[in-house]
Amino acid sequence: MKQNPLSVVGLAIILMFIGIAIAAPVLAPLPAVCGPDVGIVCDPNDPYIIPGYGYQRDPLPPSPEHPFGTTPGEPARLDIYYGIIWGTRNAFRVGIVVVGSALLIGIALGLLAGFRGGFLDEVIMRIVDIMLAFPALILAIAFVAAFGASLQNLMIAVAAVWWPSYVRLVRGDVLAAREQGYVEAARAIGASDFRIMGRHILPNVIYPIIILSSMDIGAVVLVIAALSFLGLGVAPNYADWGGLVNLTRNYIVGQVGGDSLAYWYTYVYPGLFIFLFVLGWNLLGDAFRDILDPKVRR
Amino acid sequence: MNLHVYVIRRILLLVPVILGVTLLIFGVLQLLSPLQRAAAFVQNPQDLRPENIERTIEKYHLNDPPWVQYQTWMSGILSGNLGVDRFEHSIAAALISRAPTTIELAVYSSIVIVLGGIWQGTVAARRKDRLPDHATRVLAISGWSLPTFWLGLLLLTFFYGGLGILGPGTVSIEVGEYTRSSAFTRYTGLYTIDGILNGDLFVTWDALEHLVLPVFTLSFVSWAIITRIMRSSMIEALGRDYVKFARAKGVPERVVVRRHARRNALIPVATVSGFVVAGLLNGVVITETVFARPGIGDYAAVAALNLDIAATLGFTLVNAFLLVITNLVVDVLYAYIDPRIRLG
């Protein structure tokens, strides 16, 4: 940490976002009353649906009621501030679920491939090669196009393209660990393969991998945001940063015949939060990579 | 093992990977029922009638056993036929007609990324742990963290929306009309090259103006990787004995850096460059969408939005081939540069 002052900045950013995610119901509570008579559309059971105000769509600039302005939703004006606050929760949820599931697959297959070796190793690694033959975003686009755009499919698609690199990582470490004295010792006292993998090798290789891969949460959020921006993500009024930018795509040119930068707040704020979130993880990850991965240590 | 044998072995190793790629794409298709796949071809309410859906399924052989479908599909691919999109247009023809726009964007971006990365990495390595190095680090991590679409939108709204310059698209409307007229021959499809070949430099200039922002967007998010690899391999090279020796015998520092250290430091950069350039395809989809450039990335994005599965997967397949071939070329070049590789 001392050697890399930027990591402190990264940590501060991530802690800020964790704070926002935890305090979301306080920072951006749902309107007390919703319904046609007050002109507010919201779902009291799902706070991730951004409340819509009024019956028009064109964006409104920042004001005391809407600190970041409003963006055109379906069918009403959506509060950008609300979308960003709850979008933080969504970003953590999506990032953790995708990295977590990719990691589970990666650890399971990497352990099997590295420890068992032989034919199984060959098959698993060839599948990994095939998966890595696709650019990640493009394969994810294909999955979403095939199975339909929804948050769940989006997460499945990204997890499906994310696991192969973890298999490589885990397998490499397992291959090294397999030759260690403690594995031989365990085998000598008659431990089963399963026990050796689970109790001896796994604890010795897993922590650096978990820490390194958790830094991918930022990268996952970036891919998800890109897919959402293309319109392949969440339902229109859902609190998702990329989705917020997608909503305003027809408005980015500004007012017709007027100020072309008039609607800046509809894309600047959501994009800024994506950038800061990913930046936080990357700054932190940069420091961890220096500490944990001797291959890139300076 | 000599170079020929190595190349042949690498090509043979590609066969299972390419076969696997096609099987994976085909597998994704097969996870959908014939009815779901027929849905992509629906153009109007008429098509929704049961007998018409039946006809669509019949027409595209969606109900055949999977191995028959795979065989038909594969024999099509081998003869360059990727099937038809939802408008019953040939996917291969659409991709080919759109390829020049994408090639233009990708080639210029690659040049900027590779040369820019090498230069920036060298600067950072020579001033290690001082201001230029820290600045490079911050810039690289920021670039890495920027959503491509957001950077593109900001640039587009600032320059085009605010200042009224550097608009979206490939060329301006008047130039576009001129290039479609009989006075202009499309030799390559690349506006910048065709402009020179026709002696119409204003076309080249106009196309370059439209390329500035997309190339910057695409490059800024990718160049960080080259910079970092260049930096670390340059630091290593600068610490080598031959560099110390060159300095000791009084070779000017500029020559030491350029001739002795940088040449050797470039080898790892060559490998990574292949991956980075191939990875550009990710950014191309977004960049073309933001800047309204009608390339293959834009085609894929629109196809995916319309749930046009055949078109999306056709594009995916082409991309996978490109990536696999790029890797092959990089490996062979690498073996050519560094003979130690071939022994493995």
Measured between CA atoms, how close is A282 to chain B, in angstroms?
7
What is the distance between the alpha carbons of residues A96 and A131, in angstroms, rounded to a whole number?
22
pLDDT in tens, A227-271: 888 888 777 788 889 888 888 877 776 666 667 777 888 888 999
* A144: its two tokens: 């979403």
pLDDT in tens, B188-237: 878 888 878 877 888 888 888 889 999 999 998 788 888 888 888 888 88
Mean pLDDT of B98-115: 89
Cβ-Cβ contacts under 8 Å, B304 against chain A: 141-142, 144-145, 230, 232
Residue in chain B lying closest to A263 (CA): B157
Give the pLDDT confidence score for residue A297 in this predicted structure: 42
Residue-by-residue DSSP string for B44-82: SGGGGSHHHHHHHHHHTTTTS-HHHHHHHHHHHHHTT--
pLDDT in tens, A18-30: 999 998 888 878 8
Q: Among B142, B313, B323, whose Cβ lies nearest the Cβ of A133? A: B323
Question: Which of B282, B302, B313, B326 best probes binding to A when mutated, by most A CB atoms within 10 angstroms?
Answer: B282
* CB pair distance less than 8 Å for A231 and B305: yes
Q: Among B28, B138, B158, whose Cβ lies nearest the Cβ of A143? A: B28
Domain extents in chain A? 83-298
Give the pLDDT confidence score for residue A98 in this predicted structure: 93
Q: Among A137, A252, A267, whose Cβ lies nearest the Cβ of B285? A: A137
Cβ-Cβ contacts under 8 Å, B309 against chain A: 145-146
Supply the DSSP symbol for A72: E
Measured between CA atoms, how close is A187 to chain B, in angstroms?
32
* CB pair distance less than 8 Å for A230 and B144: no
Give the pLDDT confidence score for residue A100 in this predicted structure: 93
* Regions in chain A scoring below 70 on pLDDT: 1-3, 253-258, 290, 292-298
* CB pair distance less than 8 Å for A271 and B154: yes
Domain A83-298 grouped into CATH 1.10.3720.10: yes
Measured between CA atoms, how close is A139 to chain B, in angstroms?
7
Measured between CA atoms, how close is B197 to chain A, in angstroms?
34
Give the pLDDT confidence score for residue B342 in this predicted structure: 58
pLDDT in tens, B148-164: 899 998 888 888 877 77
Q: With bands split at pLDDT 50, 70 and 90, how would you rate the model's confidence at B92?
A: confident
Give the pLDDT confidence score for residue B305 in this predicted structure: 83
- In this prediction, the answer to ipTM > 0.90 reads no
Mean pLDDT of B314-327: 82
Give the pLDDT confidence score for residue A298 in this predicted structure: 39
What is the distance between the alpha carbons of residues A243 and A65, in angstroms, rounded to a whole number?
22
